Amino acid sequence: MTADASMHAQIQSYAEMVCGTNLKTGHPEEASAKKRCISGLMRIGKNAFKLASPSIQKCKQESDFFYALETHHR
């Protein structure tokens, strides 16, 4: 496995964990919010590990998760 493939797998695993659960309640996340969140974190790449959980949770319900994260961190 190459270093890039390994990093991709780590990000995917992290995104599945963080995006699949509502970080405030501990309940499973809505499927649409989970999908947007995973897509956004995968797009961010290794920088996803630097994001605070409250920021991720706040942006999950936005229709454009990636844009919400960008504007939330300005």
Q: pLDDT tens, 17-68?
A: 999 999 999 999 999 999 999 999 999 999 999 999 899 999 998 888 888 8
Q: Is the pLDDT of residue 74 over 70?
A: no
Residue with tokens 């956004």: 40
Q: What pLDDT, on a 0 to 100 scale, did the predictor assign at position 73?
A: 59
CA dist 46 → 9, 41, 71 (Å)? 11, 8, 19
Give the gyration radius of the chain's Cα atoms: 12
User: Would you state the pLDDT for residue 61?
Assistant: 86
Tokens of 17: 């964990």
**For residues 14 and 45, is the Cβ–Cβ distance under 8 A?**
no
